[in-house]
Amino acid sequence: MHAVLDSVASPGQSTRLRAFLDERAPATPCLVVDLDVVRTNYHAMRAALPEATIFYAVKANPAPEVVAALAAEGSSFDVASTGEIDLCLAQGADPESLSYGNPIKKAADIAYAYRRGVRRYTFDSDGDLANLAEHAPGSRVWCRFLVDAPQSGTPFGKKFGCAPEMALRLLARAADLGLVVDGACFHVGSQHTDAAAWTSGIAEAGRIARGLAEAGVATRSLNLGGGFPASYRDAAPPLAVHAEAIRTAVAEHFDTAPELVVEPGRAIVATAGVIRAEVVLVSRKSDHDEHRWVYLDIGRYSGLAETENEYIAYRLRTAHPPTPDGPVIIAGPTCDGDDVIYQNTPYRLPTALRAGDHVDILDAGAYTASYSSVSFNGFPPLPTLFVG
Ligand SMILES: Cc1ncc(COP(=O)(O)O)c(C=O)c1O
């Protein structure tokens, strides 16, 4: 087998992972995750923001091996469902280390979480707050507000969070209902490369904390959510830039420093994973077409969900020398017309690329295998293999 060459620089890539792929030649498509890189990223986040408690957002990569590795390092966990609660507890996480961060939940699921020992919750509505008071009495709560910030790489829109003034009212109500008010939380949207996004959220959270103090309600912590970026085709600013912006804004907008909480997902697992895919077909739509269509054995429905709107532009690697190359449109294998991965983002691949060649999709450890749970068109979900 050829040595695999980078068509672009790949600083996040572990050599062990590349060796694993080349030596074991696993069936494609597959995701391979280096657990040592997961651990390294966790400690890099701790080093960048030592004053913050890390709740790893399990949804980014819910592989039991990833959860177990992070539990062993002392991470806490942001969970979105009873399934993720069961997963974390089964991997040795302490129920005290779990936070049920999804503001959209059934009363029965809150009751289940409480029975399993979960005592931290996020809400953003009157209805969920009432359910928490009834089914998770005495628990610690954050209220998520909508942050007015520039759009992130993969934005949430307005689905989560409420207006800041409503968050203030709801948190005061939470105290009346016997819940322990932790404070405000926000999420700037995933893959945020602009540190100013956290600055405006922290300023708003400071106003909420002061409003609550005036109403006689003390707050304990500030939950800054996730959103910390990974480098894909465009390099992301280092964590230290975000950490410094956060530190400066907290000092400016809080009289007493709150305990800080972060819920990183992508920043912990993205660079730990590589997807190895195979080229199914290379074709052109006309004899004069400059673009080749490169169809892979992985697409939008089997792991590359974040290529919707071409939000995430992964770096690609083939075994061919990077040049000569030419423009390509890259698509998945299904019969769905939307299963086109990149047609607007300019990608070039070696002209020597043929059916049967491998294409490695780099830094693909976050939001890939977990989005690939349905056997759409009969293509099986993306398996994950591990090193480390
Ligand atoms: C509540 C919550 N926290 C944290 C995260 C993780 O975000 P990221 O992977 O951008 O760090 C998410 C992502 O959807 C989320 O919904």
Instruction: Report the share of the chain in percent with pLDDT over 90.
Output: 88
- CA dist 323 and 117 (Å) reads 57
3-state helix, strand, coil in the chain (%, to 5): 35, 25, 40
Residues with CB under 6 A from ligand 1: 57, 59-60, 78, 101, 187, 190, 225-228, 263-267
Position 13 scores a pLDDT of: 56
> What's the CA-to-centroid distance between 187 and ligand 1, angstroms?
7
Burial of 1 (0-12, 13-18, 19+ CB in 10 A): exposed
Task: Assess contact for 276 and 268: CB atoms under 8 A.
Answer: no
Q: What is the pLDDT of residues 44-78, one digit of tens each?
A: 999 999 999 999 999 999 999 999 999 999 999 99
pLDDT in tens, 218-240: 999 999 999 999 999 999 999 99
The rounded Cα 3 to chain-centroid distance in angstroms is 31
CB 123 within 8 A of CB 87: no
What is the phi/psi pair of residue 102, to 5°?
-85, 120
Cα 41 to Cα 99: distance, rounded to the nearest angstrom: 21
H and E: helices and strands count for the chain:
10, 16
Q: Is 162 helix (H, G, I), strand (E, B) or coil?
A: strand
Spatial CB neighbours of 313, under 8 Å, sequence gap ≥ 6: 232, 233, 234, 307, 342, 345
pLDDT in tens, 355-384: 999 999 999 999 999 898 778 888 889 999
Q: What are phi and psi of 123, to 5 degrees?
A: -135, 165
Closest alpha carbon to 346 in 323, 331, 327: 327
Task: Label residues 52-86 b or e (16+ Cβ within 10 Å = b).
Answer: bbbbbbbbbbbbebbbbbbbeeebbbbbbbbebbe
| Domains annotated on the chain, with CATH | 15-32+270-387 (2.40.37.10), 62-264 (3.20.20.10)
Distances, alpha carbon 221 to alpha carbons 23, 166, 198, 260, in Å: 48, 18, 15, 6
Whether cis (ω within 30° of 0) applies to the bond prior to 229 is no
Pocket perturbation via mutation, ligand 1, pick of 38, 56, 59 by most ligand atoms within 8 A of CB = 59
Report the C-alpha gap between 263 and 99 in whole angstroms: 10
Q: Could you tell me which of 189, 203, 185 has the C-alpha nearest to residue 100?
A: 185
Which residues, including other chains, have CB under 8 Å from residue 368's CB and lie 6 or more apart?
A: 31, 61, 273, 275, 303, 304, 305, 306, 382
Decide if 353 contacts 279 (C-beta within 8 A): yes
**Alpha carbon of 375 to ligand 1 centroid (Å):** 25
Which residues are marked as active site? 335
> CA 232 to CA 315: how far, in whole Å?
6
Which atom number of ligand 1 is nearest to the Cα of residue 189?
10
Which amino acid, 342? Y
Coil, helix or strand at residue 253: helix
Atom of ligand 1 minimally distant from the CA of 267: 11
Return d(Cα 111, Cα 22) in angstroms, integer.
48
Q: Six-digit token pair at 328?
A: 């390509």
Distance 175 CA to ligand 1 centre (A): 26
Q: Give tens-digit pLDDT for 69-121.
A: 999 999 999 999 999 999 999 999 999 999 999 999 999 999 999 999 999 99
Residue to probe by mutation, ligand 1, list 190, 198, 271, 363, most atoms within 8 Å of CB: 190
* CA separation for the pair 162, 122 (Å, rounded): 12
Is pLDDT at 8 greater than 50 in this prediction? Answer: no
Give the pLDDT confidence score for residue 323 in this predicted structure: 96
Distance CA(308)–CA(59), nearest Å, equals 18
Cα of 217 vs centre of ligand 1, distance in Å, is: 27
Residue 153 has, within 13 A of its CA and on its CB side, a CA count of 25
What's the confidence (pLDDT) of residue 156? 77
What is the model's pLDDT at position 152? 80
- Predicted confidence band of residue 3 (pLDDT cuts 50, 70, 90): very low
User: Which pair of structure tokens corresponds to residue 310?
Assistant: 């071409």
Q: What is the pLDDT of residues 113-171, one digit of tens each?
A: 999 999 999 999 999 999 999 999 999 999 999 998 778 887 777 889 999 999 999 99
Q: Burial code of 279-315, b = ≥16 C-beta within 10 A, e = fewer?
A: bbebeeeeeeeeebbbbbbbbbbbbbbbbeeebbbbb
